[in-house]
Structure 1
Amino acid sequence: MDIRIEMSYQTPKGTTTSFQSEEMNPGKAILIAEDLEKSGRAKQIKFLDSRDTEWTLKELKKFIAEIETEPHNVTVYFDGGFDQALRHSGLGCVIYYEQNGKSLRLRKNAQVEELDTNNEAEYAAFHLALQELAFMGVHDLPVTFIGDSQVVLHQLSGEWPCYEIELSKWIDRIETQLDKLGIDPSYQLVSRKLNKEADQLATQALRGINITGTKEVN
């Protein structure tokens, strides 16, 4: 969750104006707000998240304390592959997150047989990542989803229409799960080269190599 600060500022002679900061992480927002309060010139300091929900300083501190023991600062990479000859799909996802002061990475892949196109495999990989987020207990947080599928990311963001019935079903499943978890998604399109971890997992799944694991990363 990113926070912006809104406040009124008053000079020693009583001249006032209003300011709004750029978005920043909650910890940084608290440090800046407390420093502003010490000056004695900042008035009516407000904290607003991306949904324009207002937070008090006390609420923000409590939020930080609570999420420290839960997964947060979550970024998801996903990729799906489809073998036309074998009619198999390989799904892969990599989830980076922080928990208990550690930076962690979860890798997961799966092979499925009931899909018919590469685009379906890409959607299924995204859905696999959502399932893992649910298992991890991720909820009521912003999450960045990164992939190399223009179709999936542009359709989920609403930039492209979807006319295919099967893909529409995947969109409905994904949006339902996002709502259920309270996840506020943002989408980032990258080249296949920058999505190599998820791509490798999808390829390994197609070869029947199953991977599931979490490790600490720098």
Structure 2
Amino acid sequence: MTLKFDGSSTEGTAGAGVVIISPTEVKTTLSFNLDFPCTNNQAEYEALVIGLEILKNLQAKNIQVIGDSQLVLRQVAGEYKCTSLSLAPYFAAASQLADDFEEINFQYVPRQQNWEANELDQIASGLKLSEELTHRLVLIQKRNHPSIIQRGLQVGTFNWMLIWQVIGEKN
């Protein structure tokens, strides 16, 4: 299975885009409106966590994760350390989910090669659509709380011991 993800945050809104491609090349595209304050990197992590949760629920075993955020991909792949207090709970959630797969590969691509996920997060955040996407029926889900809260973590008020334990294991 392949997961393409992207997230974006603007002054007033944020969105997450997820593209899941099955082994038989069936493509599912999803948009999520993030109705809570978040940075662009937090929106990127939201998209990744949402996508990984979907693949986990589909009982995927071997996955390819593709995105245009070098920071997020390299942190979760263990190439970069996560030192940001605001990203630590997202890093912990994504790392815990990544451990649920037998094999997981991370691939960075430039934004132009991640255009579908990018446009899906743009749709969710209310920005202008390209002509190619305007003819499609798109369901946009609203998320009122960060995905990390559902996993028992929160920005600012979370269990630091758990976060640092996970970060320490990954870094």
TM-score calculated relative to the size of structure 1? 0.56
- Match of 2:22, SS? strand
Name 2:77's counterpart in structure 1. 157
- Counterpart of 2:116 in structure 1: which amino acid? E
The reply to whether residue 148 of structure 1 matches residue 68 of structure 2 is yes
Q: Which residue among 76, 82, 92 is the counterpart of 1:172?
A: 92
Residue by residue over 1:30-55, the C-alpha shift from the partner in whole angstroms, topping out at 9 and shown as x without a partner, is xxxxxxxxxxxxxxxxxxxxxxxxxx
Name 1:135's counterpart in structure 2. 57
The runs of 5 or more residues in structure 2 that have no matched partner are: 128-137, 142-171
* Change in 2 beyond 3 A, CA 1:127/1:195: same
Residue by residue over 1:79-98, the C-alpha shift from the partner in whole angstroms, topping out at 9 and shown as x without a partner, is 001012x1x21000101112
The reply to whether residue 90 of structure 1 matches residue 15 of structure 2 is yes
Query: Structure 1 CA distance, aligned partners of 2:19 and 2:75?
Result: 21
Give 1 or 2 for the bigger CA radius of gyration: 1
More strand by share: 1
Contact 1:75 1:146 in 2 (8 A): yes
Contact 2:3 2:66 in 1 (8 A): yes
**Alpha-carbon shift at residue 188 of structure 1 (Å):** 0.6
Residue by residue over 1:15-69, the C-alpha shift from the partner in whole angstroms, topping out at 9 and shown as x without a partner, is xxxxxxxxxxxxxxxxxxxxxxxxxxxxxxxxxxxxxxxxxxxxxxxxxxxxxxx
The reply to whether residue 196 of structure 1 matches residue 115 of structure 2 is yes
* Change in 2 beyond 3 A, CA 1:115/1:158: farther
Percentage of pairs with the same residue? 30
Contact 1:204 1:210 in 2 (8 A): no
- Match of 1:166, SS? coil
Higher relative contact order structure (alpha carbons within 8 Å, sequence separation ≥ 6):
2
RMSD over aligned CA atoms reads: 1.8
Query: Structure 2 CA distance, aligned partners of 1:175 and 1:126?
Result: 10
Contact 2:17 2:120 in 1 (8 A): yes
Q: Which residue among 136, 139, 163 is the counterpart of 1:210?
A: 139
TM-score calculated relative to the size of structure 2? 0.70
Number of corresponding residues: 131
The reply to whether residue 117 of structure 1 matches residue 39 of structure 2 is yes
